[in-house]
A = this chain, B = another copy of it.
Amino acid sequence: MVIEKIKQTIERENLIENKDKILVALSGGPDSVCLLHALKKLETYYNIKIYAAHLNHKIRGIEAQKDALYAAKLCDELDVPFFVKAIDVPAYAKEKKMTLEEAARKLRYDMLFEVKNRIGAKKIAVAHNLDDQAETVIMRLIRGTGITGLKGMDYKRGDGVIRPLMDISKANIVSYCDENKLNPRIDYTNLETEYTRNKIRLKLLPFIEQEFSANIKDTISRMANILREDSDYLEAEAQRIFEEQVLENTNEIIKLDIEELKSTHSSLVKRLIRMAIKTLAGTLEGIDNVHIEDILALIKNSKNQLKLNLPKGLMIYKTTDGLIFTFEEISFENVNYNYILKPDGYIQIDEIGMRIESKIMSKERCIALPTGQYTKAFDYDKIKGDLIVRSRLDGDRMKPMGLGGTKKLKDIFIDLKIPREKRNSIAVLSDDKGILWLMGHKISEDYKIDENTKRVIRITCKTL
């Protein structure tokens, strides 16, 4: 019955192809022993070739040695080519500051892929079972997750790892070992078992089985399979759309089309964001749901030229045409803006993060107030038409105080050593006749307060 069920899994999930070489990860515990024995039985049926590899992890020296001997003997009896490697995992863990569990896991997979490559195998079979799957799903559920977590472990990974036992319960595995007199080793170290997982196995699942549903593990595994199908579709769809909407994709920068993002369903947009980060940073570590929500809010924000800082130096920029993911600072070189500044009014320019206020007052009152780099006063009656706060334009000229003539804005920027990419973020205050103020830098002769001035407009700009 175990063999029949494994065949069903293999065929439903397309785990095996004709002529596959399959390397079984053999610890010597009941799961991997059952896996090796069952796959070996199916060797002729599927026209495959079975190999086994064992890591002697040197945790509890004598027991680890016995595990390795058992594994060697079993492979000899089953006529399975056997690879073994001994590594001092406790020493490695100490050196690399990893937990024993992390170190053993890393070294075991390193060893498996090394052997896989050496023998030219297509697949590595690992022995996760139905109980492991149910525990994984519940653990993720308790910690908080979405469909990607709830779908559980995959039957087949992109790197060739397959899990043929994932529909078989632990109880059936133990019976299988008994029936076939395999005498597997007891896993003293139980390296895989985290604290929470252990509590789920020993307390929560038995509680649910007794109080609610004896089949809870099967129910969860079925749910995971249904969700995996939905998840696969969503990921494939997101991948297709990513390729459609990506405007730039280099080592330094990923730029997605902002207009397309706005008309894409948020279920997919979240996946596109994760894909962009994963592609750029190589990992999603440190990125939580709250960061994804922040980026969604950034996309929806009606303003452009916005920036968001994420963990590990990742920056997200929103420009007029794109959502940019990068680790490099970028300037909003081409920011353009043009606002009317009402007398006794204010405007907020999100593009450059400035707030500008104006106040009309008598000359007497004005003289009593201080001015400075970001506060200037002008003769209000010399102004023609609306006051405009805007970004520079090609050909802009002004008559800077004290120069006695006009000068191109471009030359003023050069004299001030302001780099090209920062020039648009310096606001220009103008009226119908010309420029009053290159804000923060130069004021014009033409609007200065003199003995005839009656009303004054006092203008202040502040960083938001």
A150-B150, A196-B212, A211-B203 known; A265 vs B233 contact (CB < 8 Å): yes
Pick the contact of A236 from B199, B204, B232, B265 — CB < 8 Å?
B265
In the assembled complex, the CB of A54 is this many whole angstroms from the nearest CB of chain B, namely: 34
Query: Which residues between 213 and 260 of chain A lie within 8 Å of chain B, taking CB atoms?
Result: 213, 216, 219-220, 222-223, 226-227, 229-230, 232-234, 236-237
Which listed segment binds B: A84-92, A98-106, A138-146?
A138-146
Q: At the interface, yes or no: A18 with Cβ under 8 Å from chain B? A: no
Q: Are B150's CB and A230's CB within 8 A?
A: no
Shortest distance between the CB of A1 and any CB in chain B (Å): 20
A225 CB to closest chain B CB, in angstroms?
9
**Would you list which residues of chain A between 81 and 139 have a CB under 8 Å from chain B?**
none
- Smallest Cβ distance from A218 to chain B, in angstroms? 9
Q: Are B147 and A216 in contact (CB under 8 A)?
A: no
Whether the Cβ atoms of A144 and B219 lie closer than 8 Å is yes
B223 and A144 contacting across the interface, CB-CB below 8 Å? yes
Band of interface residues on A: 35 or more
Is A193 part of the binding interface, using a Cβ–Cβ cutoff of 8 Å? no
Q: Is the CB of B220 within 8 A of A230?
A: no
Q: Does A463 touch B at the CB level, under 8 Å?
A: no
Inter-chain CA distance A229–B293, complex, in Å, is: 13
Contact status of A267 and B213, CB under 8 A, knowing A145-B223, A146-B223: no
Closest B residue to A292 using CB positions: B226
Q: In the bound complex, what is the Cα–Cα distance between A234 and B230 (angstroms)?
A: 8
Task: Check: A309 CB closer than 8 A to any chain B CB.
Answer: no
Inter-subunit contact B268/A226 (CB<8 Å) = no
| Bound-complex Cα distance A143 to B216 (A) | 8
CA separation between A141 and B213, bound complex, in Å? 11
Instruction: Give a binary string over A294-333; 1 marks a CB under 8 Å from any B CB, 0 the rest.
Output: 0000000000000000000000000000000000000000
CB-CB contacts of A197-209 with B at 8 A, as 1s and 0s?
Answer: 0011001100110
Q: Does A371 contact B (CB under 8 A)?
A: no
> Per a CB cutoff under 8 Å, which of B204, B226, B234 touches A208?
B204
Known contacts A142-B208, A208-B142, A212-B204; A147/B230 CB under 8 A:
yes
Q: How far is the CB of A250 from chain B (nearest CB, A)?
A: 30
A199 to chain B, nearest CB (A): 6
CB distance from A206 to the nearest CB of B (A): 11
Do A220 and B265 form a contact, CB below 8 Å, given A208-B204, A227-B146, A230-B147?
no
Once the chains bind, are B267 and A146 in contact (CB under 8 Å)? no
CA distance A230 to B229 in the complex (A): 13
Partner of A147, one of B144, B227, B266: B227
CB-defined contacts of A222 to chain B, threshold 8 Å: 144, 289
Q: Which residues of B contact A289 (CB under 8 A)?
A: 222, 226
Q: Are A219 and B142 in contact (CB under 8 A)?
A: yes
**Is the beta-carbon distance between A211 and B230 smaller than 8 angstroms?**
no
Verify B142–A213 contact, CB threshold 8 A: yes
> Are the C-beta atoms of A142 and B212 separated by less than 8 Å?
yes
> What 9 additional pairs, Cβ within 8 angstroms, besides A142-B208, A233-B268, A234-B267?
A141-B141, A142-B216, A146-B230, A203-B211, A204-B207, A229-B266, A229-B267, A230-B267, A233-B267
Residues of A within 8 A of B (CB): 141-147, 150, 196, 199-200, 203-204, 207-208, 211-213, 216, 219-220, 222-223, 226-227, 229-230, 232-234, 236-237, 265-268, 270, 289
Q: Give 8 closest A-B pairs by Cβ, nearest first.
A: A233-B267, A146-B226, A144-B219, A233-B265, A229-B267, A230-B267, A142-B212, A142-B213
A-B contact pairs, 21 of them (CB 8 A): A142-B213, A143-B213, A145-B223, A146-B223, A146-B226, A146-B227, A147-B226, A147-B227, A150-B223, A199-B212, A200-B212, A203-B211, A204-B211, A204-B212, A207-B207, A222-B289, A226-B289, A229-B270, A230-B267, A233-B268, A234-B267
